[in-house]
Amino acid sequence: MSYYDYMAPAKDGSEVSLKEYEGKVLLIVNTATGCGFTPQYEDLERIYAEYRDQGFEVLDFPCNQFANQAPESDEEIGQFCTLKFGTEFPQFKKIDVNGDNALQLFADLATEKPFEGFGKGIKNAALEKFTAANNKQFGDKAYIKWNFTKFLVDRSGKLVARFEPTASMADVEAAVKELL
């Protein structure tokens, strides 16, 4: 099965087939407006603007499952991203990425490429402890550890990489470039 075979909820509640993006490189991201990683929207938009004409898409899925960092409505989240970061990439309806109501797309992405840690350093170790406490409520369905986890899908619809929020955006961009 290809990741283009999935459906995702649009902001208006309709279902969008990811077949609309078939043949493109996808960076699928769960996001939040009030997170320490929220400034990554700027890098995501910059990378999107640089490579969209080469067949690249960022698919933005807001999520409020991590310390209530995206409490706004879908419309408010969209306005925030557009006004503060100038985002033009597709933004979907706010979803769950963990638990019984997790969007199947994220459950499957995270099952195929499981969490391997946030990296080294005191800040990353502290984040790992905080996320463990937050995600305890989801048990074995804690697929995603925090906001701004990114999944890179190639032009054939295959998952090739997972980037935790602590990953360098330069590394994310290099992986995108390699696939284009």
Catalytic residue from among 18, 35, 97, 152: 35
Specify whether 63 is catalytic. Answer: no
Degrees to nearest 5, angle at CA 26 with 94 and 132: 55
Give the relative orientation of helices 169-179 and 40-51 as an angle to the nearest 10 degrees: 20
Residue showing tokens 């999935």: 6
Residue 117, Cβ density class (10 Å: 0-12 exposed, 13-18 middle, ≥19 buried): exposed
Q: Any idea of the CA torsion for 180, 38, 84, 43, to the nearest 10 degrees?
A: -30
Per-position DSSP letters for 76-140, written without gaps between them: HHHHHHHHHH---S-B---BB-SSTTB-HHHHHHHHHS------SSHHHHHHHHHHHHHHGGGGG
Query: How far, in Å, are 23, 56, 155, 156, 173 from residue 179 at the CA level?
Result: 11, 9, 8, 11, 10
Catalytically active residues are: 35
